[in-house]
């Protein structure tokens, strides 16, 4: 009887079987901990993440030599074993049905047809050359990215400018950190974000301006959360954000009121003598003029212009004064503005005048956007000559030409056009051929209808992308299929100037090639293969880049090779040798010497200008745009490919509205409404929350419709588009 | 336009490209692309199998000692540290090896406060490993276990037969049905990691150390639940006594609401259950009304009546049972349903309907084949079919009542199912009588119909009117200012499901009131084609109306859930 029961029981009640075994975990190897048995790695290797500028280390799990999964790297000094959802899902998005697997040529409006790489390269050369012969060498241009490796950026910039002979090329980095570049260059003498992430942990006061690291840079926020000094956190942002929720003081400044506010704070600090006179005298230039300049920024004036009470401004100034180690951090809220450069410099001024720079836990620190924005800043050959050099400087041209063993005459003597001027050039017929690499302007460029119209006017549009379905790829005459992160080798430079290595751990689909290989192929077909005879592998190019950086502030000539970078857990520039530049977490300016000839930093300031498109009776709301969640990246070309990431953000566009505005308009949560600006119109669901101030609404930038509304104004110094504020109307549906 | 540079020399000899055979390079590049970074160059040596590297960060997030008697493991969430990055969701997904679409953790959003003091709080949530888990109570096959030592509520994937009752019974929407596999899966607090001294995936992956594992006293968890000290706008913790602690230094304002508070989404309609419920209630109702009718009929007509109605009623019952197995992800394991009889209303329902089917078959045989030996038992048999049928429908009612959803509470569900039973029973009787009387010319059948039909049709009309009124009264909740569960249900019927709702009321009116009244008033044109069509319409409208009613019962049922994100 018991035997019958014993036999019967497992049939009736079973605790084991195929389903249970499917989720079985086994003790991890390689220090990884327990992992699903079905994907147990046979080996691991290191890489850095390919989304944002945080530059997290990821441990790639390998099976049969190919990546089968990943976990964040514990002993990488950036992320301490953590990653945001994008990083966790980084491999998943490579497997998508719309990956570009073969060059595609659209001739005559029909469906594009698959062609060979040689035909693609020949077409590229033939069509681009034909345009150049007819309209001059500068009639073709490129728009690139902050997402490629530094070696690829350099190859593209060198090939386009030295090989193809065009002068005009820019990157989507113009949309994210051009403002910081100019602000730093003018103030410090070189584009040099001075901080290291350890500063997040060492400050006793952190001031975030136009920055929401909780969503935009969650792993940087990790470092803030690990600060053992119980720091005071100040957030200056029109919206109540996740970061503002954690702040001791949230200053809900009016959109673009930040510059006035910062001048007001500077005045108060000066008035109270809360400044570091010794530092100012020894290491800065132009302070007295600044003192005179800020005189009119009284508390009353500030309150009138920004909506911030005298009490709050005083608290802000006091908090800065009371801090021993105050760090200032800004992101797109400052950069994407009609006066971003001066606003960033208003922040730099505060750090300089209080001596909060060059010491641990201090600094005027721009948090960059993309994984290799910093690589692009130094080596894209667009806003400066390779390696932070000057196109106009003959000595610089000679140095670059000699390192690259090329004819110096091939180097242009002046800057090319910035992004918006290239777009304008297309409109005016000055630019007829455009090569878009690894970015999606038909989605992301400000005033999207205009951008799409402009791109449609080109004689020849080449798009080089991983996917065939981006808004821009769909417009391409020639689509070049690119391998993505994880399918190629190279280096990125993160926000704290740390160089990290990425690896080819999985095979690109079909005929897709690494951007590096595409540039090689095109250069070869262009007939300038000889110019790039040493550019045969990313690591060879890295050796050239090292030489280019020599004696620059960004000098990393002391790095041996990729292996050395990996062994050190990434290496920050400058790195001349192990002796001069020791330590895994280094900030700049410890000696108080800046990169201007006289070694002094500059106080730079200017009368703030009003919002280019203020709200009016007809357009009563100010639309703010920005990042919607940590699971979305930019135009969602990659992040929308993961089922899990898609579950983590709202599927449809939404607009965040203050309850009193919603009540007045008679709209209810979840209603579908029309949002209209002078440039475009869209439909969005209403999310009612008092996180928005009355009169302001917010939309995430990731949705393909958002930029229909944005207003194309640009910072006069950095040419960065001002995405953050434009006037709109909300129209409830009947 | 001025140009500062000379054209590169290369441009000048366009006509005569000096390229070497080009295909060689593109082939070489494609070949290179296939070669991955040499692993041996970078791959790390296998470590000596000590604690994982990450342990140095998460050690402080785990309890020092395992739970003692009267204690269990529980999640502890520090809301002041949860920033809404949702890394926990993806880490859980990856480290547990879940399928592409599958997630066991979720992050919702609470918003509230005023313009001068707004509140925005993300909330990470997974299984609460309750003291009295709704899933475990509901499971008919004992596929849930609450671990004696750790208190972890574990799902036995190979035991599950995919009835999905736990997905209705859990107030927190934790168990997730995996349609491809035909089973439910859920969070087990990474019990094998905990057993090895490692932290669960979410704990080790939260960049902000917002999630930790703690040991709680069960008594303490019960007290906290009783004090409703769980999380604003979350389902009532008294139902299942969740053990997760949500900590914050903040006081949430009174108006704190989930970001998805106002969104209403139709729920899964569970079509096999819709059919099963309607058909079982039809079957039981048919037996009940027939039995009642016996007492109203002349004695000599009773035998005829019994032989007429029983096969039809039985047929519906058997069809219902067949439909119910369609709802199982793994129907071949249906026999396991007996295991949960002590706690699961679904087990009880299955057993009760099994018994009902057996009794009804016996009864049907007894009335169809007049064997003298059985005749003394026929009366008690009829009564036992009726009683067991009512008990079985009661079990059906309790399945939904036990989920604690407001729209499925006892009076609402019992009234719905009870009225359905009567209405469908009256329909079945009317239909059987009218159909047979119009095709068979036997005087006995004509007499039977003349006596019975007015009764059954009147009963049908009365019950239908009562039921439709009752159902329509749900729309009163639309006027409620608060977004109650009942208002959500009404909103669902009024908006996304309005076509279904409209069809339901139209069919109910037609089959339950208009057509029966027509028949009563006009009397019989018995035998004509129109007559038979009308009969078919009457019965069809009633049954289809009830099917739609049951569809709405599921699809418009506002389900409790943890706070969700913006939708």
Q: Which domain holds residue A39?
A: 7-95
- Tell if the CB–CB gap between A75 and B53 is shorter than 8 Å: yes
Domain end residue (candidates: A366, A392, A413): A366
pLDDT for the residue numbered B1: 40
Residue at A589 is within a domain = no
Of the partner residues A43, A487, A630, the one whose CB lies closest to the CB of residue B85: A630
Helical ranges in A464-623 per DSSP H: 515-526, 538-549, 562-568
Is the Cβ of A14 closer than 8 Å to some Cβ of chain B?
A: yes
For residue B15, give the chain A residue with the closest CA. A126
Cβ-Cβ contacts under 8 Å, B41 against chain A: 563
pLDDT in tens, B257-281: 999 999 989 999 999 999 999 999 9
The SS3 call for residue A275 is coil
Would you say A375 and A493 are in contact if contact means Cβ atoms under 8 Å apart? yes
For residue A16, give the chain B residue with the closest CA. B158
Calpha distance B470→A468 (Å, rounded) = 55
pLDDT score of B117 more than 80: yes
Task: Compute how many other C-beta atoms are within 10 angstroms of the C-beta atom of residue B251.
Answer: 8
A56/chain B closest Cα distance in angstroms: 12
For residue B156, give the chain A residue with the closest CA. A15
- Tell if the CB–CB gap between B107 and A138 is shorter than 8 Å: no
B66/chain A closest Cα distance in angstroms: 19
Q: What is the side-by-side strand order in the sheet with A433-437? A: A113-114, A104-105, A478-481, A460-465, A433-437, A140-144, A168-171
Together in a domain, A241 and A329:
yes
Task: Compute how many other C-beta atoms are within 10 angstroms of the C-beta atom of residue A107.
Answer: 11
Burial of B207-243, coded b for 16+ CB within 10 Å and e otherwise, reads bbbbbbbbbbbbeebbebbeeeebbbbbbebebbbbb
Together in a domain, A171 and A182:
no
Calpha distance A221→A630 (Å, rounded) = 12
Calpha distance A171→B209 (Å, rounded) = 37
- Tell if the CB–CB gap between B43 and A514 is shorter than 8 Å: no
pLDDT for the residue numbered A721: 97
Calpha distance A293→A530 (Å, rounded) = 55
DSSP lists the bridge partners of residue B125 as: B106
Of the partner residues A222, A410, A642, the one whose CB lies closest to the CB of residue B208: A222
- Tell if the CB–CB gap between B37 and A82 is shorter than 8 Å: no
Together in a domain, A345 and A394:
no
- Comparing A183-187, A701-705, B6-10, B409-413, the range with the smallest average pLDDT is B6-10
- Tell if the CB–CB gap between A410 and B567 is shorter than 8 Å: no
**What's the CATH number where A69 sits?**
2.20.25.90
Calpha distance A631→A445 (Å, rounded) = 21
Residue B112: C-alpha distances to residues A239, A382, A720, B109, B566 (Å) = 14, 47, 35, 10, 13
- Tell if the CB–CB gap between A13 and B44 is shorter than 8 Å: no
Pairs across A and B, CB distance < 8 A: 321
Cβ-Cβ contacts under 8 Å, A75 against chain B: 53
Exposed/middle/buried for B499, CB within 10 Å: 0-12, 13-18, 19+? exposed
Residue at A614 is within a domain = no
Calpha distance B352→B334 (Å, rounded) = 14
Residue ranges of A 60-99 with Cβ closer than 8 A to chain B: 62, 65-66, 69-72, 74-75, 79-85, 88-89, 92
* Among A721, A221, A516, CA closest to B81: A221
Calpha distance B54→B232 (Å, rounded) = 33
Residue at A401 is within a domain = yes
Calpha distance A616→A624 (Å, rounded) = 15
Domain end residue (candidates: A556, A572, A588): A572
Interface test with A, best of B21, B89, B207 (most A CBs within 10 A): B207
Calpha distance A417→A430 (Å, rounded) = 12
**Angle (deg, nearest 10), helices B410-439 and B443-472:** 150
Give the predicted TM-score (pTM) of the model: 0.94
pLDDT for the residue numbered B235: 94
Averaged confidence pLDDT in chain B = 90
Residue ranges of A 512-531 with Cβ closer than 8 A to chain B: 512-514, 517, 520-521, 524-529
Together in a domain, A20 and A30:
yes
More confident residue, B303 or B158: B158
Cβ-Cβ contacts under 8 Å, B118 against chain A: 240, 689-691
Calpha distance B115→A239 (Å, rounded) = 10
pLDDT score of B100 more than 50: yes
pLDDT in tens, A563-572: 999 999 999 9
Burial of B276-312, coded b for 16+ CB within 10 Å and e otherwise, reads bbbbbbbbbbbbbbbbbbbeebeeebbebbbebbbeb
Task: Compute how many other C-beta atoms are within 10 angstroms of the C-beta atom of residue B342.
Answer: 8
Together in a domain, A482 and A536:
yes
Domain end residue (candidates: A366, A392, A427): A366
Together in a domain, A218 and A285:
yes
The SS3 call for residue B133 is coil
Calpha distance B374→B361 (Å, rounded) = 13
pLDDT score of B48 more than 90: no
More confident residue, B298 or A289: A289
- Tell if the CB–CB gap between A29 and B47 is shorter than 8 Å: yes
A600/chain B closest Cα distance in angstroms: 33
- Tell if the CB–CB gap between B33 and A136 is shorter than 8 Å: no
B154/chain A closest Cα distance in angstroms: 10
Q: What is the side-by-side strand order in the sheet with A571-572? A: A487-493, A498-504, A571-572
Residue at A616 is within a domain = no
* Among A384, A491, A372, CA closest to A437: A372
Together in a domain, A401 and A339:
no
Calpha distance A46→A65 (Å, rounded) = 13
**What's the CATH number where A197 sits?**
3.40.228.10
Interface test with A, best of B87, B91, B109, B487 (most A CBs within 10 A): B87
pLDDT score of A478 more than 80: yes
Show the 3-state SS of A550-578.
CCCCCCCCCCCCHHHHHHHCCEECCCCCC
- Tell if the CB–CB gap between A689 and B120 is shorter than 8 Å: yes
Exposed/middle/buried for B344, CB within 10 Å: 0-12, 13-18, 19+? buried
Together in a domain, A647 and A659:
yes
- Tell if the CB–CB gap between B208 and A629 is shorter than 8 Å: no
A520/chain B closest Cα distance in angstroms: 9
For residue B110, give the chain A residue with the closest CA. A689
- Tell if the CB–CB gap between A36 and B95 is shorter than 8 Å: yes
| CA A514-A518-A522 angle, 5° bins | 170
For residue A529, give the chain B residue with the closest CA. B19
Of the partner residues A65, A122, A246, the one whose CB lies closest to the CB of residue B39: A65
Of the partner residues B30, B89, B185, the one whose CB lies closest to the CB of residue A85: B89
A681-688 vs A654-657, strand pairing mode:
parallel
Rounded CA Rg of chain B = 32
Tell me what the mean pLDDT of segment A138-167 comes to: 97
pLDDT in tens, A384-419: 999 999 999 999 999 999 999 999 999 999 999 999
pLDDT for the residue numbered A209: 98
* Among B460, B422, B285, CA closest to B356: B285
Exposed/middle/buried for A176, CB within 10 Å: 0-12, 13-18, 19+? buried
pLDDT score of A211 more than 60: yes
More confident residue, A704 or B378: A704
Is the Cβ of A694 closer than 8 Å to some Cβ of chain B?
A: yes
Averaged confidence pLDDT in chain A = 96
Calpha distance B401→B348 (Å, rounded) = 14
Calpha distance A396→A388 (Å, rounded) = 10
Look at chain A and report how many structural domains it folds into.
4
Burial of A547-571, coded b for 16+ CB within 10 Å and e otherwise, reads ebbeebbbbbbbbeebeebbebbbb
pLDDT for the residue numbered B342: 95
pLDDT for the residue numbered A109: 67
Residue at A605 is within a domain = no
Task: Compute how many other C-beta atoms are within 10 angstroms of the C-beta atom of residue A110.
Answer: 7
**What's the CATH number where A676 sits?**
2.40.40.20
Tell me what the mean pLDDT of segment B242-259 comes to: 95
DSSP lists the bridge partners of residue A114 as: A104
pLDDT score of A269 more than 80: yes
Residue A397: C-alpha distances to residues A239, A412, A528, A542 (Å) = 46, 9, 19, 19
pLDDT score of B103 more than 70: yes
Which residues lie below 8 Å from residue B15, measured CB to CB, with a gap of 6+? none
Which pLDDT band holds residue B49 (cuts at 50, 70, 90)? low
For residue B249, give the chain A residue with the closest CA. A246
Calpha distance A733→A51 (Å, rounded) = 38
Would you say B532 and B438 are in contact if contact means Cβ atoms under 8 Å apart? yes
Burial of B313-325, coded b for 16+ CB within 10 Å and e otherwise, reads bbebbebbbebbe
Q: What is the side-by-side strand order in the sheet with A43-48? A: A43-48, A57-63, A66-72
Residue at A577 is within a domain = no
Residue at A87 is within a domain = yes
Cβ-Cβ contacts under 8 Å, B142 against chain A: 13
Interface test with B, best of A85, A412, A646 (most B CBs within 10 A): A85
For residue B194, give the chain A residue with the closest CA. A34
Together in a domain, A425 and A523:
yes
Together in a domain, A471 and A488:
yes
Residue at A528 is within a domain = yes
- Tell if the CB–CB gap between B33 and A507 is shorter than 8 Å: yes
- Tell if the CB–CB gap between A691 and B118 is shorter than 8 Å: yes
Of the partner residues B14, B157, B208, the one whose CB lies closest to the CB of residue A20: B157
DSSP lists the bridge partners of residue A594 as: none
Together in a domain, A711 and A690:
yes
- Comparing A186-190, B367-371, B560-564, the range with the smallest average pLDDT is B367-371
Which pLDDT band holds residue B42 (cuts at 50, 70, 90)? very low
Would you say A191 and A552 are in contact if contact means Cβ atoms under 8 Å apart? no
Together in a domain, A390 and A516:
yes
């Amino acid at each position: 009887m018991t035997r019958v029961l014993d036999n019967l029981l497992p049939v009736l009640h079973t605790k084991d079987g195929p389903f249970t075994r499917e989720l079985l975990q086994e003790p991890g190897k390689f220090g990884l901990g327990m992992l699903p048995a079905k994907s147990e790695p046979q080996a691991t290797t290191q890489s850095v993440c390919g989304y944002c500028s945080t530059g997290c280390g990821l441990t790639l799990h390998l099976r049969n030599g190919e990546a089968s999964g990943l976990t964040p790297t514990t002993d990488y000094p950036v992320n301490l074993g953590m990653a945001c959802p994008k990083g966790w899902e980084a491999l998943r998005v490579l497997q998508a049905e719309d990956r570009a697997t073969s060059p595609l040529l659209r001739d005559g409006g029909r469906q594009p047809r698959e062609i060979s790489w040689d035909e693609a390269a020949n077409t590229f050369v033939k069509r681009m050359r034909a345009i150049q012969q007819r309209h001059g060498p500068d009639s073709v241009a490129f728009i690139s990215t902050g997402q490629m490796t530094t070696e690829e950026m350099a190859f593209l910039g060198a090939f386009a400018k030295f090989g193809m002979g065009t002068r005009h090329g820019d990157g989507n980095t113009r949309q994210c950190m051009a403002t910081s570049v100019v602000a730093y260059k003018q103030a410090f003498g070189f584009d040099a974000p001075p901080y290291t992430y350890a500063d997040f942990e060492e400050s006793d006061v952190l001031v975030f301006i136009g920055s929401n690291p909780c969503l935009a840079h969650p792993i940087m926020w990790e470092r803030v959360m690990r600060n053992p000094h119980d720091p005071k956190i100040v957030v200056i942002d029109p919206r109540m954000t996740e970061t503002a929720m954690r702040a001791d003081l949230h200053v809900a400044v009016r959109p673009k009121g930040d510059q006035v506010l910062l001048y007001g704070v500077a005045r108060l600090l000066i008035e109270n003598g809360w400044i570091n006179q010794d530092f100012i005298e020894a290491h800065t230039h132009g302070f007295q003029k600044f003192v005179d300049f800020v005189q009119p920024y009284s508390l009353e004036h500030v309150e009138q212009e920004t909506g911030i009470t005298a009490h709050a401004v005083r608290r802000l100034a006091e908090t800065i004064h009371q801090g021993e180690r105050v760090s200032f951090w800004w992101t797109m809220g400052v950069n994407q503005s009609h006066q971003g450069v001066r606003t960033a410099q208003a922040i730099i001024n505060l750090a300089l005048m209080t001596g909060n720079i060059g010491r641990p836990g201090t600094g005027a620190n721009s948090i960059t956007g993309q994984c290799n924005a910093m690589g692009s800043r130094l080596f894209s050959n667009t806003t400066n000559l390779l390696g932070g050099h000057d196109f106009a400087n003959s000595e610089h041209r000679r140095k670059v030409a000699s390192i690259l063993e090329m004819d110096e005459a091939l180097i242009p003597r002046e800057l090319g056009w910035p992004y918006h001027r290239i777009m304008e050039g297309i409109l005016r017929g000055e630019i007829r051929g455009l090569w878009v690499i690894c970015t999606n302007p038909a989605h992301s460029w400000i005033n999207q209808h205009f951008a799409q119209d402009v791109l449609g006017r080109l004689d020849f549009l080449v798009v080089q992308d991983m996917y065939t379905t981006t808004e821009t790829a769909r417009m391409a005459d020639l689509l070049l299929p690119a391998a993505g992160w994880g399918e190629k080798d190279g280096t990125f430079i993160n926000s704290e100037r740390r160089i990290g290595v990425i690896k080819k751990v999985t095979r690109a689909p079909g005929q897709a090639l690494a951007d590096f290989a595409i540039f090689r192929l095109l250069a070869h077909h262009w007939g300038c293969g000889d110019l790039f005879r040493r550019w045969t592998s990313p690591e060879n190019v890295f050796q050239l880049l090292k030489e280019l950086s020599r004696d620059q502030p960004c000098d990393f000539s002391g790095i041996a090779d990729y292996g050395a970078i990996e062994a050190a857990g990434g290496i920050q520039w400058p790195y001349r040798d192990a002796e001069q530049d020791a330590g895994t977490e280094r900030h700049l300016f410890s000696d108080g010497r800046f990169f201007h000839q006289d070694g002094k930093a500059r106080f730079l300031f200017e009368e703030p200008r009003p919002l280019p498109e203020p709200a009016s009776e007809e357009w009563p709301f100010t639309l703010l745009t920005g990042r919607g969640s940590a699971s979305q990246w930019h135009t969602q070309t990659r992040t929308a490919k993961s089922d899990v990431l898609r579950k983590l953000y709202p599927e449809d566009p939404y607009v965040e509205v203050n309850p009193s505005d919603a009540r007045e308009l008679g709209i209810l949560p979840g209603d579908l409404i029309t949002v209209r600006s002078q440039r475009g119109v869209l439909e969005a669901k209403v999310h009612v929350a008092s996180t928005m101030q009355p009169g302001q609404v917010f939309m995430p930038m990731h949705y393909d419709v958002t930029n229909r509304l944005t207003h194309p104004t640009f910072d006069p110094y950095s040419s960065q588009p001002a995405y953050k504020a434009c006037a709109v109307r909300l129209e409830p549906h009947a | 336009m001025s140009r500062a540079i000379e054209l590169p020399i290369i441009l000048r000899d366009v006509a005569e490209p000096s390229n070497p055979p080009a295909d060689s390079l593109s082939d070489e590049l494609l070949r290179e692309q296939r070669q991955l970074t040499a692993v041996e160059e970078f791959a790390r040596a296998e470590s000596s199998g000590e604690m994982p590297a990450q342990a140095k960060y998460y050690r402080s997030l785990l309890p020092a000692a395992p739970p003692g008697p009267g204690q269990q493991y529980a999640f502890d969430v520090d809301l002041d540290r949860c920033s809404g990055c949702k890394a926990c969701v993806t880490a859980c997904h990856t480290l547990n090896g879940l399928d592409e679409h599958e997630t066991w953790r979720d992050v919702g959003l609470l918003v509230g406060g005023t313009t001068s003091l707004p509140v925005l709080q993300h909330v990470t949530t997974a299984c609460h490993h309750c003291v009295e888990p709704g899933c475990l109570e509901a499971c008919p096959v004992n596929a849930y276990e609450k671990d004696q030592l750790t208190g972890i509520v574990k799902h036995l994937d190979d035991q599950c037969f995919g009835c999905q009752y736990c997905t209705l019974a859990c107030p927190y929407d934790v168990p997730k049905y995996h349609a491809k596999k035909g089973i439910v899966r859920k969070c087990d607090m990474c019990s094998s990691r905990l057993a090895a001294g490692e932290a669960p995936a979410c704990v080790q992956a939260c960049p902000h150390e917002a999630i930790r594992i703690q040991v709680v006293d069960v008594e303490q968890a019960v007290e906290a639940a009783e004090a409703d000290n769980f999380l604003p706008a979350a389902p009532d913790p008294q139902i299942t006594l969740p053990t997760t602690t949500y900590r914050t230094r903040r006081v949430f304002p009174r108006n704190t609401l989930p970001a998805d508070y106002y969104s209403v989404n139709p729920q899964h309609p569970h079509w096999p259950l819709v059919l099963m419920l309607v058909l079982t209630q039809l079957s039981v109702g048919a037996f009940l009304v027939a039995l009642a009718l016996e007492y109203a009929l002349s004695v000599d007509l009773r035998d005829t009546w019994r032989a007429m109605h029983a096969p039809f009623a039985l047929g519906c019952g058997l069809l219902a049972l067949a439909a119910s197995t369609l709802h199982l992800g793994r129907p071949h394991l249906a026999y396991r349903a007996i295991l949960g009889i002590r706690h699961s209303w679904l087990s009880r329902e299955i057993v009760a309907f099994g018994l009902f089917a057996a009794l009804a078959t016996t009864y049907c045989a007894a009335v169809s084949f007049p064997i003298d030996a059985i005749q003394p038992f026929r009366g008690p048999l009829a009564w036992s079919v009726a009683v067991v049928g009512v008990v079985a429908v009661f079990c059906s009612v309790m399945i939904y009542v036990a989920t604690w959803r407001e729209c499925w509470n006892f009076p609402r569900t019992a009234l719905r199912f009870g009225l359905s039973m009567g209405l469908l029973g009256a329909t079945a009787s009317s239909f059987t009588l009218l159909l047979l009387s119009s095709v068979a010319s036997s005087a006995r059948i004509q007499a039977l119909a003349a006596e019975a039909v007015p009764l059954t049709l009147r009963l049908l009309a009365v019950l239908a009117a009562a039921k439709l009124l009752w159902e329509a009264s749900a729309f009163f909740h639309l006027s409620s200012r608060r977004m109650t569960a009942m208002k959500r249900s009404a909103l669902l019927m009024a908006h996304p499901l309005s076509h279904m709702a409209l069809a339901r009321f139209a069919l109910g009116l037609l089959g339950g009131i208009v057509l029966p009244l027509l028949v009563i008033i006009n009397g019989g044109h018995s035998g004509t084609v129109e007559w038979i069509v009308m009969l078919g319409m009457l019965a069809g409208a009633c049954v289809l109306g009830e099917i739609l009613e049951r569809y709405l019962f599921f699809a418009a049922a506002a389900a409790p859930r943890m706070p969700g994100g913006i939708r």
